């Protein structure tokens, strides 16, 4: 917890007096609950490295047993970010070392971990594992998150999409001992100046949950929320375009846990989210600000759609666990997920006029981007700990996915007269496809001496795919029909690692690991030349990633620390570049080498005051022509240096205050090499929050993000259209109220 002085009036001169008064008088955003897990890297916060159990390694392990970087985030630091934003992407960017900084909703990329694509899981359910759309995270309510676990680097534990690591969200569990009822609200507005308050930039969210036992065997958890979300304002006061703005957001999470016997349990989880778009006059992105960024157009009347925007997500999972089978533990999970989204319309005609092409005549000016995805799967495994310390896990994974894109194109002349988007042409941005993925794995670890332990894993994966044709591609400079195609890829990947207990509280570790997957089938289908079957293209060849990592984690008195250095390479990865003739972002296959360093530290100064900090440095080279001429990897994949420091101070037993300085450095090497459309300029953001617990039943909090209302362009905010760049959000003030019974 940290002490932040509200002095230096000259630095706060841009903050409205009413806002500053609220911060001092009704302090405290983000329920202040002092715990021993105060600070940044919860996975490294435990006083004893053997006290925190990680489950995303697919068997219960303590940090001292895992020879790779693993981080766990829960408790106060997660609550602080949940109180700041309803964007999961923003939470990840401010929370996880190695993860790219937050971007605006205008960007579909930049969801990378150490420069590679991670696999996202919610309670074990993969989220659109073969797509590159960040849209799937927009539907997930961060208020339902109980814990986030991050397993860095490729691993034999997971298959498709896990070449960069695994980020798993665990939702809140059912309470088994007593009935708990909670209700609350989150109110947010963008206040970018004393005379610049826009009532359209507000969020009003209301939520309630109930958790407790029904009887001795059955316990349940239910959560529901409603959010009326307005626009997002930049520092200059203009509203920004966004795909999750001016929406009514309804979210539901339900869990039922049945303790069948003392050793057997069954858990059913249902999660559903729906975004309904409001009629609003600011939802269209076709204005250009003075600095060349895109802002929301103030249309004279609300837009209307033949194909209204939508965003719906649902998943269900059934988990079974038996704690005593042949001396070990058996677990199995069946899951199903379905997702459909159709974004508000995009109008790039002002950009085409501004940059003058060269674009082909058939390039659409008005369109909506969307996708429908269904996935069904099974995960099952058996784990056993032997008397000699050997721990072994074997398992089977199966996933069946279907995906199809939506691309309604509207008549430009009719829209300019009526503001009606008629969806006159129903095209596809990428072709429909099916993908079956099967994986078998074995993972084992054991102590060799009192200080040394080893682990190793082996995994076989097979991917059977079909890109359904014939189909046409809209956004291409090679018009013509593609036939589609089908095929199969399989291979074996493996990993090994070693832990060395330097002291009882400090561990050195090193590992080698491989990842095996195939690239996005939508990307492949969009990039094969006309007349060429997908199965005959080199683009469909699998991605094999190799990683080497060394690191240290531990405690030294009041200091708790973690650091790692790594390098990953793949001979035929998916690379982003810029077409020099058009300025458009393009994807291809090329060798990529990525390397970096991460470090984090928590200093518990005393029982009331702590400071945590982390730094991330990632770099990489791509060889687009495979001729030894390497270029810097685009910032869409490799972010600039990221640094943050968060002090926290527990003023009284009920009142806490905290802040964060978040810094992103310059990065222009990729721009000079032609792989970035623009250089990245550094920026520094300050957040400030305070929380007060009046009694056991009521908390109130206030948070201010981007305290000094900095105008900036987020790192990684590249675009597939030249000049289509979005600013970051301006100053936002959030009030949180939470009631418990």
Q: In 156-261, where do the E strands start and end?
A: 165-171, 180-191, 197-213, 218-229, 232-233, 239-240, 247-259
The whole-number average pLDDT for the span 95-115 is 78
Under DSSP, the state recorded for 475 is S
The C-alpha atoms of residue 14 and residue 686 are separated, in whole angstroms, by 13
The whole-number average pLDDT for the span 156-169 is 78
Collapse the DSSP code of 78 into the 3-class scheme (helix H, G, I; strand E, B; otherwise coil) and give the result. Answer: helix
The C-alpha atoms of residue 66 and residue 70 are separated, in whole angstroms, by 8
- Encode pLDDT of 468-491 as tens digits: 999 988 877 778 889 999 999 999
The whole-number average pLDDT for the span 609-636 is 90
- Encode pLDDT of 43-89 as tens digits: 334 345 555 556 666 767 777 788 999 888 887 788 888 888 888 88
- Name the residue with higher pLDDT: 687 or 538: 687
The C-alpha atoms of residue 549 and residue 564 are separated, in whole angstroms, by 7
Angle at which helices 75-84 and 88-95 pack, to 10 degrees? 130
Of 19-23, 469-473, 646-650, 731-735, the range with the lowest mean pLDDT is 19-23
Contacts of 413 by beta carbon, 8 Å cutoff, 6+ apart: none
- Name the residue with higher pLDDT: 2 or 413: 413
- The fraction of the chain above a pLDDT of 70, given in percent, is 82
- Name the residue with higher pLDDT: 7 or 87: 87
Q: Is the pLDDT of residue 361 over 90?
A: no
The whole-number average pLDDT for the span 134-156 is 82
Cβ atoms of 277 and 309 closer than 8 Å: yes
pLDDT of residue 12: 31
- Name the residue with higher pLDDT: 204 or 14: 204
pLDDT of residue 584: 56
Q: What does residue 310 show for φ and ψ, rounded to 5 degrees?
A: -155, 160
Q: In 525-558, where do the E strands start and end?
A: 543-556
Of 19-28, 91-100, 359-368, 696-705, the range with the lowest mean pLDDT is 19-28
In the structure encoding, which two tokens stand for residue 155, read together? Answer: 């691993």
Cβ atoms of 87 and 110 closer than 8 Å: no
- The fraction of the chain above a pLDDT of 90, given in percent, is 45
Residues facing 377 on adjacent strands: 335, 399
Collapse the DSSP code of 637 into the 3-class scheme (helix H, G, I; strand E, B; otherwise coil) and give the result. Answer: coil
The whole-number average pLDDT for the span 578-588 is 59
The C-alpha atoms of residue 318 and residue 256 are separated, in whole angstroms, by 10
Collapse the DSSP code of 83 into the 3-class scheme (helix H, G, I; strand E, B; otherwise coil) and give the result. Answer: helix
Name the percent of the chain in helix, strand, coil, to the closest 5: 10, 50, 40
Q: Is the pLDDT of residue 126 over 50?
A: yes
Under DSSP, the state recorded for 104 is -
Of 196-205, 612-621, 643-652, 715-724, the range with the lowest mean pLDDT is 715-724
- Name the residue with higher pLDDT: 117 or 435: 435
- Name the residue with higher pLDDT: 534 or 624: 534
Of 124-128, 212-216, 365-369, the range with the lowest mean pLDDT is 124-128
Q: Please list, residue by residue across 98-110, b when 16 or more beta carbons sit within 10 angstroms of its beta carbon and e when fewer do.
A: bbbbbbbbbbbbb
How far lies 176's CA from each of 210, 216, 220, 320, in Å?
Answer: 12, 9, 8, 17
Q: Is the pLDDT of residue 282 over 70?
A: no
The whole-number average pLDDT for the span 93-112 is 78
Collapse the DSSP code of 414 into the 3-class scheme (helix H, G, I; strand E, B; otherwise coil) and give the result. Answer: helix
The C-alpha atoms of residue 600 and residue 551 are separated, in whole angstroms, by 12
- pTM of structure: 0.88
Of 138-147, 397-406, 554-563, the range with the lowest mean pLDDT is 138-147
Question: How do strand 304-305 and strand 420-421 relate by DSSP bridges?
Answer: parallel
Q: Is the pLDDT of residue 456 over 80?
A: yes
pLDDT of residue 88: 87
The C-alpha atoms of residue 677 and residue 351 are separated, in whole angstroms, by 15
The C-alpha atoms of residue 637 and residue 160 are separated, in whole angstroms, by 18
pLDDT of residue 46: 38
The end-to-end CA distance of the chain, in Å, is: 26
The C-alpha atoms of residue 376 and residue 336 are separated, in whole angstroms, by 4
Q: Is the pLDDT of residue 13 over 50?
A: no
The C-alpha atoms of residue 220 and residue 86 are separated, in whole angstroms, by 25
In the structure encoding, which two tokens stand for residue 583, read together? Answer: 């300025």
Most distant CA pair in the chain: distance in Å? Answer: 78
Sign of CA dihedral 664, 669, 672, 676: negative
Residues facing 227 on adjacent strands: 205, 249
Residues facing 647 on adjacent strands: 611
Nearest partner of 270 among 313, 314, 226, judged by Cα: 314
pLDDT of residue 18: 34
How confident is residue 626, by pLDDT bands cut at 50, 70 and 90? confident
Cβ atoms of 191 and 732 closer than 8 Å: yes
* Cβ-based burial of 699 (10 A; exposed 0-12, middle 13-18, buried ≥19): buried
Cβ atoms of 482 and 535 closer than 8 Å: no
- Name the residue with higher pLDDT: 580 or 640: 640
The C-alpha atoms of residue 109 and residue 238 are separated, in whole angstroms, by 24
Peptide bond into 358 cis (omega under 30): yes
pLDDT of residue 684: 97
Residue at token pair 């392990």: 61
pLDDT of residue 352: 64
Angle at CA of residue 428, ends 424 and 430, nearest 5°: 165
Under DSSP, the state recorded for 723 is T
Cβ atoms of 152 and 112 closer than 8 Å: no
pLDDT of residue 179: 94
The C-alpha atoms of residue 730 and residue 19 are separated, in whole angstroms, by 14
* Cβ-based burial of 413 (10 A; exposed 0-12, middle 13-18, buried ≥19): exposed
How confident is residue 255, by pLDDT bands cut at 50, 70 and 90? very high
How confident is residue 579, by pLDDT bands cut at 50, 70 and 90? low
> Other CB atoms closer than 10 Å to residue 720's CB: what's the count?
18
Sign of CA dihedral 16, 231, 703, 11: negative
Cβ atoms of 41 and 52 closer than 8 Å: no
pLDDT of residue 53: 59
Of 58-72, 121-135, 217-231, 419-433, the range with the lowest mean pLDDT is 121-135
The C-alpha atoms of residue 263 and residue 330 are separated, in whole angstroms, by 10
How confident is residue 698, by pLDDT bands cut at 50, 70 and 90? very high
The C-alpha atoms of residue 473 and residue 529 are separated, in whole angstroms, by 10
Collapse the DSSP code of 587 into the 3-class scheme (helix H, G, I; strand E, B; otherwise coil) and give the result. Answer: strand
Give the chain's mean pLDDT. Answer: 83
Angle at CA of residue 733, ends 275 and 224, nearest 5°: 35
The C-alpha atoms of residue 399 and residue 632 are separated, in whole angstroms, by 35
Nearest partner of 465 among 512, 507, 522, 426, judged by Cα: 522
The C-alpha atoms of residue 207 and residue 188 are separated, in whole angstroms, by 15
The whole-number average pLDDT for the span 95-117 is 79
How confident is residue 21, by pLDDT bands cut at 50, 70 and 90? very low
Q: Is the pLDDT of residue 263 over 50?
A: yes
pLDDT of residue 25: 33
pLDDT of residue 11: 29
pLDDT of residue 163: 78
Q: Which of 183-197, 251-265, 623-637 has the highest mean pLDDT?
A: 251-265
In the structure encoding, which two tokens stand for residue 452, read together? Answer: 């040394």
């Amino acid at each position: 917890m940290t002490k932040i002085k509200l002095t230096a009036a000259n630095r706060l001169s841009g903050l409205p007096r009413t806002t500053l008064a609220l911060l001092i008088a009704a302090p405290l955003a983000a329920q202040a609950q002092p715990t021993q897990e105060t600070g940044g890297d919860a996975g490294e916060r435990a006083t004893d490295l053997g006290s925190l159990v990680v489950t995303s390694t697919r068997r219960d392990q303590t940090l001292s047993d895992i020879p790779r970087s693993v981080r766990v985030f829960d408790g106060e630091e997660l609550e602080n970010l949940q109180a700041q934003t309803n964007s999961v992407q923003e939470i990840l960017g401010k929370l996880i070392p190695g993860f790219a900084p937050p971007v605006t909703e205008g960007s579909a990329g930049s969801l990378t971990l150490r420069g590679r694509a991670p696999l996202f899981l919610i309670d074990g359910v993969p989220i659109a594992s073969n797509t590159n759309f960040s849209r799937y995270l927009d539907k997930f309510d961060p208020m339902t998150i109980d814990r986030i676990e991050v397993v860095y680097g490729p691993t034999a534990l997971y298959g498709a999409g896990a070449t960069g690591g695994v980020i798993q969200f665990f939702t809140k569990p059912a309470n088994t001992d007593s009935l708990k009822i909670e209700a609350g609200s989150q109110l947010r507005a963008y206040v970018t100046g004393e005379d610049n308050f826009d009532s359209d930039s507000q969020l009003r969210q209301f939520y309630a949950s109930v958790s407790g036992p029904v009887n001795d065997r059955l316990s349940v958890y239910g959560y529901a929320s409603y959010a009326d979300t307005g626009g997002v304002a930049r520092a200059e006061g203009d509203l920004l375009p966004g795909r999750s703005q001016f929406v009514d957001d309804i979210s539901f999470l339900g869990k039922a846990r049945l303790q069948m016997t003392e050793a057997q349990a069954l858990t059913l989880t249902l999660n559903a989210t729906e975004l309904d778009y409001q009629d609003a006059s600011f939802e269209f992105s076709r204005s250009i600000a003075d600095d060349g960024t895109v802002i929301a157009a103030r249309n004279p009347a609300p837009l209307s759609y033949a194909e209204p925007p939508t965003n719906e997500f649902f998943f269900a999972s059934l988990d079974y666990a038996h704690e005593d089978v042949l001396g070990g533990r058996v677990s199995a999970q069946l899951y199903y997920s379905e997702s459909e989204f159709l974004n508000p319309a995009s109008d790039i005609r002002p950009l085409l006029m501004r940059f003058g092409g060269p674009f082909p005549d058939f390039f659409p000016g008005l369109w909506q981007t969307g996708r429908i995805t269904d996935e069904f799967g099974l995960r099952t495994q058996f784990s056993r700990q032997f008397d000699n310390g050997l721990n072994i896990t074997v398992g089977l994974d199966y996933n069946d996915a279907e995906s199809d894109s939506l691309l309604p194109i509207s008549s430009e002349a009719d829209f300019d007269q009526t503001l009606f988007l008629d969806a006159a042409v129903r095209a596809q941005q990428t072709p429909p496809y099916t993908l079956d993925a099967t994986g078998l794995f074995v993972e084992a670890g054991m102590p060799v001496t009192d200080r040394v332990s080893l682990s190793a894993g082996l995994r076989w994966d097979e991917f059977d795919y079909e890109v359904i044709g014939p189909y046409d591609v809209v956004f291409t400079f090679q018009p013509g029909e593609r036939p589609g195609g089908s095929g199969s890829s399989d291979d074996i990947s493996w990993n090994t690692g070693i832990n060395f207990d330097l002291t009882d509280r400090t561990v050195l570790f090193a590992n080698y690991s491989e990842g095996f997957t195939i690239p996005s089938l939508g990307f492949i289908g969009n990039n094969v030349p006309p007349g060429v079957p997908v199965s005959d293209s080199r683009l469909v060849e699998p991605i094999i990633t190799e990683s080497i990592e060394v690191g240290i984690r531990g405690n030294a008195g009041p200091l708790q620390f973690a650091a790692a250095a790594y390098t990953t390479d793949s001979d035929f990865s998916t690379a982003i570049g810029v077409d020099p003739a058009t300025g458009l972002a393009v994807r291809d296959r090329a060798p990529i080498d990525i390397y970096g360093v991460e470090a984090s530290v928590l200093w518990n100064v005393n029982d009331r005051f702590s400071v945590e900090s982390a730094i991330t440095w990632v770099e990489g080279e791509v060889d687009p022509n495979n001729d030894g001429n390497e270029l810097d990897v685009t910032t869409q994949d490799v972010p600039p240096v990221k640094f943050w420091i968060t002090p926290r101070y527990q003023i009284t037993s009920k009142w806490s205050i905290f802040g964060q300085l978040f810094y992103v450095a310059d990065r222009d090497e990729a721009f000079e090499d032609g792989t970035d459309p623009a250089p990245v300029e550094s920026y520094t953001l300050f957040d400030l929050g305070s929380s007060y617990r009046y009694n056991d039943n009521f908390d109130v909090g206030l948070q201010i993000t981007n305290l000094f209302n900095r105008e900036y362009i987020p790192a990684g905010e590249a675009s597939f259209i030249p000049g289509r760049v979005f600013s970051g959000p301006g100053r936002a003030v959030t009030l949180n109220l939470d009631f418990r019974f």
